[in-house]
Chains A and B, each alone.
Chain A
């Protein structure tokens, strides 16, 4: 199954929701009224894209099509174009979807360090496993650092994944200093000449200042061991997350300067629309999407396909 199809499948529910409803909403030949726009607005809100983004889209549709007879394709084109602009951000980012490594900033020499963070239960460990698996398959030598020393059995969870993938892992007993694990991970990579270190961290709510400080320390320690590291700081976001995702992106960026998002669990009915809000307000791009529970259910995020799949017939 091609990437496009899978994304489509993952987003099917969103599409169904948006499309069936919007089809019912806008009928060719009818006048576009304020009432219709309000209904359209409600559908956009239901994707979790947030009030400002939804307003922006509705305002543009109103400006271009209000009071005129509906031509569905034209309205579509407006909505799609606006969404794509919102998602591509100011640099008009596009990655090579075929090349899994294209969104990652790799170190010019020595190991590349990827720090992964996020709130509790968003799927960090699973996303790391998927990432490691793809890197491993691409012929990179991967070291995992099991930095979630807080949650019961998190280390075991990552260890199981490392065995399945067949990559190296650095662990310390539960309760150890996560920064020490990160440090050891970097040290191991330097020792064994590994290409990529992926560092897991314990889930933390962005409001827990002590834990955010701990995250800063992890980042600092990594930089001490390998200058220039971490090269990537990925924030994992649950697709079911609502507007709190913006707060997550903000606070995590403040603490460890995130470079991108991983949008996990996009295979449900949740729309993950909050990434639009995050892109709009923080200009933080989505780099990968998680589309299922299997280890290769991860893809490079493509704003064009995302929007296309959202509306494709």
Chain B
């Protein structure tokens, strides 16, 4: 999400890194690069232009603080201005309890209206509302069926009429039905996609707006839209007085310049973003987080929020305790992996951690599939006995073979995993004594040291220069112990 803006800005700003002072000249140079990267990201030309002008005014005017490096200061200005450009947002839908609220969705063809209707219904359902979906898209063949199927999936009623009916009537009847029945308190109208220059269809939309008087009119906008996003948003806003925008398909590598443009040109805030095809993939839009993300500062807040939602607090606490005592076993390792998995795909998590966005990209380029590797690791650990998990030292060749057979992997992989685990264990013991922030720092440090280098097959063990000096006596002892252990096992 927003990767290419990020890439461009990072590149544009990195040349400032070496500079000791913010001068008018280097600011202008940086801004030229910022503007180009914004244009390449589909930010509307005028918006990009005025954004750069504003940043220039602010940046040149700011006093250079001694404590800050010019790079940091410039990033600060760009960050603030980005937030201003996209915010503020109001996530409320202004629906009054006790009466039937009406939300009307509109947009161009293929922007994702019908799916978004479903997502919105699910979200409202989760908040305790009882939604009704109204299929007012009579244009596209089978649009009614699509909404009906989505309704079935969610357990939300769907009001439909035959395709020969009139969209205005369908909306009217749907809302009337909801008011009469009383088991519905919010109606979501799925209107047909239309071109903003199609006067006839825009008139129809206005008519629906006049007759049912929706509480909220939301424009659904494809994040991949180019320079035209601003034009259509302007026309829809003029016709309907939009309350908000839902930006869809942000889970791709869409540069999302539309997000930056629409708000600043129409003044209509982006309320939600669609980040996947499943019906629960609707998120609140946070300009500050998005701005951080654009600047490659990561989105730790979202990550924390997600973690809170999905992590089992007690289990976490127990693990923390174990960690602190240095008793971190493979069982804990697996538990933690399972918890982390709930947060989403590995790459999507990486993107939210500052400085890690590029790593997930590198992994993509190297055609690595961390998901698959994690799956294998889980299988390996699951194929171990309880005793082996608690005390991995007892795993000898025959146990290794058994585990490999059980998990459908190679014995060498088990070796690798155990090695990695020992390393990870050490690292975690170090981190256990640190604060959250310190932990994040050491994580970043590890990344910069190449701990996540996708070129290395095994991430942790390979970093030889970082390895502590080898204690020969200790090694000897370990070898002896292992030998003894093997003998014991043979018996």
- The residues of A with any CB-CB pair to B shorter than 8 Å are 13, 42, 45-48, 50-51, 119-123, 150-154, 156-157, 160-161, 174, 205-209, 238, 240-245, 247, 265, 267-271, 273-274, 293
Q: Which of A13, A45, A293 contacts B39 (CB 8 A)?
A: A45
| B459, chain A: closest CB distance, angstroms | 20
Q: Which of A45, A120, A121 contacts B45 (CB 8 A)?
A: A45
Q: Determine whether B410 belongs to the interface, using a CB cutoff of 8 Å to chain A.
A: no
Most central of B36, B42, B139 by chain A CB within 10 Å: B42
Kindly list chain A residues whose C-beta atoms are within 8 Å of the C-beta of B149: 152-153, 174
Interchain CB contact under 8 A, A160 and B142: yes
Q: Which of B49, B148, B224 contacts A242 (CB 8 A)?
A: B224
Interchain CB contact under 8 A, A122 and B40: no
In addition to A45-B227, A51-B40, A271-B228, 16 A-B residue pairs with Cβ atoms within 8 Å of each other are: A46-B45, A120-B112, A153-B142, A156-B142, A157-B142, A160-B141, A160-B142, A205-B252, A241-B222, A241-B225, A242-B224, A242-B225, A244-B224, A244-B253, A265-B109, A268-B228
By Cβ-Cβ distance, the 10 closest A-B pairs, closest first, are: A242-B226, A121-B110, A242-B42, A205-B252, A153-B145, A152-B149, A153-B146, A157-B142, A48-B226, A156-B142
Given contacts A240-B228, A242-B224, A268-B108, contact A156 B145 (CB under 8 A): yes
Kindly list chain A residues whose C-beta atoms are within 8 Å of the C-beta of B231: 269
Interchain CB contact under 8 A, A240 and B229: yes
Given contacts A153-B143, A153-B145, A153-B149, contact A48 B251 (CB under 8 A): no
Q: Determine whether B195 belongs to the interface, using a CB cutoff of 8 Å to chain A.
A: yes
Interchain CB contact under 8 A, A268 and B195: yes
Kindly list chain B residues whose C-beta atoms are within 8 Å of the C-beta of A48: 42, 226-228
Given contacts A48-B228, A121-B109, contact A152 B197 (CB under 8 A): no
Q: Determine whether B268 belongs to the interface, using a CB cutoff of 8 Å to chain A.
A: no
Look across to chain A and name the residue whose beta carbon is closest to the beta carbon of B257. A242
| B360, chain A: closest CB distance, angstroms | 11
Given contacts A51-B39, A153-B149, contact A270 B45 (CB under 8 A): no
| A279, chain B: closest CB distance, angstroms | 16
Interchain CB contact under 8 A, B142 and A243: no
Interchain CB contact under 8 A, A121 and B40: no
Given contacts A13-B197, A157-B142, A274-B226, contact A119 B252 (CB under 8 A): yes
Interchain CB contact under 8 A, A152 and B146: yes
Looking at chain A's contact residues, is the secondary structure mostly helix, strand, loop, or mixed?
loop
Interchain CB contact under 8 A, B226 and A240: yes
Q: Determine whether B53 belongs to the interface, using a CB cutoff of 8 Å to chain A.
A: no
| B486, chain A: closest CB distance, angstroms | 43
Query: How many chain B residues touch the partner (CB < 8 A)?
Result: 50
Interchain CB contact under 8 A, B251 and A207: yes
Given contacts A153-B146, A160-B142, contact A269 B249 (CB under 8 A): no
Kindly list chain B residues whose C-beta atoms are within 8 Å of the C-beta of A150: 277
Look across to chain A and name the residue whose beta carbon is closest to the beta carbon of B163. A160
Interchain CB contact under 8 A, A268 and B253: no
Between-chain CB contacts (< 8 Å), 22 pairs: A42-B45, A46-B227, A119-B224, A119-B252, A120-B249, A121-B112, A152-B147, A152-B149, A153-B143, A153-B149, A156-B141, A157-B141, A157-B142, A157-B146, A238-B110, A238-B222, A242-B225, A242-B258, A244-B226, A268-B195, A269-B232, A273-B226
Look across to chain A and name the residue whose beta carbon is closest to the beta carbon of B193. A121
Kindly list chain B residues whose C-beta atoms are within 8 Å of the C-beta of A119: 224, 249, 252
Interchain CB contact under 8 A, B232 and A244: no
Interchain CB contact under 8 A, B227 and A47: yes
| B348, chain A: closest CB distance, angstroms | 11
| A55, chain B: closest CB distance, angstroms | 9
| B143, chain A: closest CB distance, angstroms | 7
| A23, chain B: closest CB distance, angstroms | 19
Kindly list chain B residues whose C-beta atoms are within 8 Å of the C-beta of A269: 195-197, 228, 231-232
Kindly list chain B residues whose C-beta atoms are within 8 Å of the C-beta of A45: 39, 45, 227
Q: Determine whether B170 belongs to the interface, using a CB cutoff of 8 Å to chain A.
A: no
Kindly list chain B residues whose C-beta atoms are within 8 Å of the C-beta of A151: 146
Q: Determine whether B247 belongs to the interface, using a CB cutoff of 8 Å to chain A.
A: no
Report the separation of the CA atoms of residues A260 and B41 in the bound assembly, to the nearest whole angstrom: 24
Kindly list chain A residues whose C-beta atoms are within 8 Å of the C-beta of B227: 45-48, 242, 271
Kindly list chain B residues whose C-beta atoms are within 8 Å of the C-beta of A42: 45-46, 49
Most central of A45, A154, A208 by chain B CB within 10 Å: A45
B147-163 to A contact mask, C-beta < 8 Å, 1/0: 11110010000000000
| B70, chain A: closest CB distance, angstroms | 27
Interchain CB contact under 8 A, B112 and A206: no
Most central of A42, A238, A243 by chain B CB within 10 Å: A243
Given contacts A123-B109, A265-B109, A269-B231, contact A243 B226 (CB under 8 A): yes
Report the separation of the CA atoms of residues A37 and B210 in the bound assembly, to the nearest whole angstrom: 46
Q: Determine whether B407 belongs to the interface, using a CB cutoff of 8 Å to chain A.
A: no
Given contacts A48-B227, A51-B40, A271-B228, contact A207 B252 (CB under 8 A): yes
